[in-house]
Structure 1
């Protein structure tokens, strides 16, 4: 949630260790706002107070205890607190108790705060939502005003978990935040979208998202979620009635199987049937987490899928199928959603990194040391491994009758043997006294492309490989295209039987691939 820097500043936390000490500090804070009336300030202070006992044991009933404590006081601070809780308290029991306690305090001669009738009454302004083009997450901004004062409520929505709210922030300058959202969408049109939202739809997204989060026993939320929870619910009540949620029919086993069959038929997997198990799990994950659109793909959604495989509850028959199938699923989903080439490539790049992390965390604890030289930073390791594993997926080869194991992909000569081993169709020609020139050139060019990928030089080779993968091409087809690009740039040199290539032309051709 990028605009957190403009969030309302948190009031100083009470230092008193006892419950009574906490209650006294709360009344002292409300005495201060009662002296300088401002309904927004009262609402935010009340929301923060309520948020302080969000993680307390419900049996402690701190809210009701605070209300009873205030009822025994004859102070403007007590009247201010109770007038606020009468509207903002999150349970009907607490709101009713606050109303009764307020009547008792007012009956002792304390005047009702002049702003009491304005609490919870705000005018609804525009609502906007910005998010990634995949539909994984979005930030919903709702603008509320009272007189000349305007605030914004910003909610982070996570659609990989049913659209639940992960954080809530109250913004002091919503117009500046909206300008940032517009600027981000303008600068990164391929990956960011910005839409105006009908207030009724905003109400539905907020209400359903907060309810989904509150239903979890231990939700992962931002540090401001509890602090602004009560005021968010209060302002939500000023929005139009939430739009109706369309009924979603659960996918039948037949429909799930049809989706798997369609994916396998439309993807370029070298062994489609080996990917059926993973594809089935992907469909089931989508039906469970996003029943309205089970086949939608996004970086975070696929990351959550990989996390679900690591929880130990799923025993896979073919672990080696995970990476190629998930990458093919990402590319297939990108085509279904008609994502731009840039968005599809970014998706495949992110998923490739997640796969490297998944494989590294797998219980088999696969060793990636062959793909690293020790100079990489911790942040670079996953990306380097993903790129080099694409270039050299195996470290063993069979050439003719000879079986070569534990080859070092970091050694250029042994890397060449791995390239040759991947092409048994050339082995007979290799063994002949006069090696076929066409076959030799093809292997030499692929070896060069693999070297370029390994060294990430020029970087356009890996960028092109990811774009081609995002379009649904299998690794072998991607290498064929990269070899064709390199071959188109070959030029003869003065040395006999030696070819070179135009680097600038090669890089430009890769950018267009």
Structure 2
């Protein structure tokens, strides 16, 4: 009769040489890689899926006595200490000399670095084992993407000193990046709260070591102090705040440079509509900052969001790139960004205009709802006339219900 192989058997086979590794860090890296496959295939709440897998593994292997089985059990118990049964896992009789160093690390430094636009922030923390047998000092680097509101990638490795020096040199030679020491509690908070969103994604970011290093990163984050207050993303501007900001912008040299300060009549209405779109787009981000514009944010707006969310007439479409260039320049000055940063954003927007015009012309990125409203306007139907609107819907129902 054929032997039944379970996922737990597969893990035991993959970890058959774990007790022969040189140090605790190597064993923890093997353990996190094995659990990374569980994290990657989970459809949602991936952190819980890993914890439940470890709980099941510890229960299913409780009678295993080989050196590799008892060692990988201890590795998993230290990586996922809140798994059921983790607190009852003991070293095996043939435990390697470094076994008691598993998970016994302390923080040696915290830093953060990122781009001046605010698109992404990377958090770097270094850790050392309490005793040399545990392994070398190592670094955890977590990349938080503020445009999508997730921890996009995680890396754990070493040597810590070399990684830190490479980051320092990179930031020192690029005026569009910054580098600073970071409060451990803030690092814990920022990475963890964005990681919680990542854990619940249906599809993970395709590149990097997020899945394989997620579990050991979680174990390292758990060692850091928690913030006294849990940070929350800022609220979008109130109507009064939006009005005040628009007035300040229209009185700015950037608005004057693009001829926006003297508009009236239909042009003025189109200008205010374009500005409302910029503010609505900013409010759709987790940080809801109307002054955070970069080449990436401009691309998300001009080549994607506005086509899915807004119906533009020809005057709006002709004016929108100009308004965006003026607003991005104004925002860069208000935030104190280097001139080169403002220039890069302006040049990027200018280069996007042909593609923006093409997308506007084809309507290929319109959502079904936006496409329906665009057709409604093209047919000359007044949305404020209930009878005309009802008649149009009835006449076009077969189009509106097509997939």
- TM-score of the two chains, using structure 1 as the length reference: 0.59
CA apart distance, 1:206: 1.4
1:130-145 → structure 2 map (5 Å cutoff): 130-145=113-128
RMSD of the TM alignment (CA)? 3.0
CA apart distance, 1:50: 1.0
Does the residue aligned with 1:156 lie in a helix, a strand or coil? strand
What is residue 375 of structure 2 aligned with on the other side?
Answer: none
Does the residue aligned with 1:140 lie in a helix, a strand or coil? strand
1:172-187 → structure 2 map (5 Å cutoff): 172-187=158-173
Does the residue aligned with 2:180 lie in a helix, a strand or coil? strand
CA apart distance, 1:359: 3.3
CA distance in 2: counterparts of 1:307 and 1:87, whole angstroms: 46
CA apart distance, 1:365: 7.1
What is residue 264 of structure 1 aligned with on the other side?
Answer: 250
Asked if the contact 1:160–1:301 (Cα under 8 Å) also holds between the matched residues in 2, the reply is yes
What is residue 192 of structure 1 aligned with on the other side?
Answer: 177
CA distance in 1: counterparts of 2:204 and 2:302, whole angstroms: 20
Q: Check if 1:151 corresponds to 2:134.
A: no
CA apart distance, 1:252: 1.6
What is residue 96 of structure 1 aligned with on the other side?
Answer: 84
Judged with a 3 Å threshold, the aligned counterparts in structure 2 of structure 1 residues 132 and 223 are, in CA distance, closer, same or farther, namely: closer
Judged with a 3 Å threshold, the aligned counterparts in structure 2 of structure 1 residues 182 and 57 are, in CA distance, closer, same or farther, namely: closer
What is residue 212 of structure 1 aligned with on the other side?
Answer: 197
Runs of at least 5 residues in structure 1 that lack an aligned partner in the other structure: 1-17, 367-513
1:55-94 → structure 2 map (5 Å cutoff): 55-57=40-42, 62-89=53-80, 92=82
CA distance in 2: counterparts of 1:225 and 1:186, whole angstroms: 27
Q: Check if 1:306 corresponds to 2:302.
A: yes
What is residue 47 of structure 1 aligned with on the other side?
Answer: 32
CA apart distance, 1:311: 5.4
What is residue 349 of structure 2 aligned with on the other side?
Answer: 351
CA apart distance, 1:35: 3.0
CA distance in 1: counterparts of 2:271 and 2:6, whole angstroms: 62
Does the residue aligned with 1:161 lie in a helix, a strand or coil? coil
Q: Deviations over 1:332-390 (max 9, x none)?
A: 11111122222211221223334444334445379xxxxxxxxxxxxxxxxxxxxxxxx
CA distance in 2: counterparts of 1:116 and 1:354, whole angstroms: 56
Q: Deviations over 1:204-255 (max 9, x none)?
A: 2211221132233334353310100000010011122236344534422222
Q: Deviations over 1:417-448 (max 9, x none)?
A: xxxxxxxxxxxxxxxxxxxxxxxxxxxxxxxx
CA distance in 1: counterparts of 2:111 and 2:351, whole angstroms: 31
Does the residue aligned with 1:302 lie in a helix, a strand or coil? helix
- Which of structure 1's runs of 4+ aligned residues deviate more than 6 A? 58-61
CA distance in 1: counterparts of 2:333 and 2:4, whole angstroms: 58
Q: Deviations over 1:39-98 (max 9, x none)?
A: 2112111111111012335699654543344234331222112212223238x4xx1144
CA distance in 1: counterparts of 2:118 and 2:279, whole angstroms: 17
Runs of at least 5 residues in structure 2 that lack an aligned partner in the other structure: 365-403
Does the residue aligned with 1:289 lie in a helix, a strand or coil? coil
Judged with a 3 Å threshold, the aligned counterparts in structure 2 of structure 1 residues 43 and 19 are, in CA distance, closer, same or farther, namely: farther
What is residue 227 of structure 2 aligned with on the other side?
Answer: 242
Q: Check if 1:128 corresponds to 2:121.
A: no
When Rg is computed on C-alpha atoms for both structures, the one with the higher figure is 1
Asked if the contact 2:122–2:144 (Cα under 8 Å) also holds between the matched residues in 1, the reply is yes
Does the residue aligned with 2:84 lie in a helix, a strand or coil? helix
Judged with a 3 Å threshold, the aligned counterparts in structure 2 of structure 1 residues 261 and 230 are, in CA distance, closer, same or farther, namely: same
Asked if the contact 2:19–2:95 (Cα under 8 Å) also holds between the matched residues in 1, the reply is no
Judged with a 3 Å threshold, the aligned counterparts in structure 2 of structure 1 residues 220 and 345 are, in CA distance, closer, same or farther, namely: same
Judged with a 3 Å threshold, the aligned counterparts in structure 2 of structure 1 residues 242 and 363 are, in CA distance, closer, same or farther, namely: farther
1:226-375 → structure 2 map (5 Å cutoff): 226-242=211-227, 244-246=229-231, 248-266=234-252, 267-268=255-256, 269-271=258-260, 272=263, 273=268, 274-291=270-287, 293-309=289-305, 312-317=308-313, 318-364=316-362
- TM-score of the two chains, using structure 2 as the length reference: 0.74
CA apart distance, 1:27: 1.8
Does the residue aligned with 1:178 lie in a helix, a strand or coil? helix
CA apart distance, 1:203: 1.3
Judged with a 3 Å threshold, the aligned counterparts in structure 2 of structure 1 residues 291 and 206 are, in CA distance, closer, same or farther, namely: closer
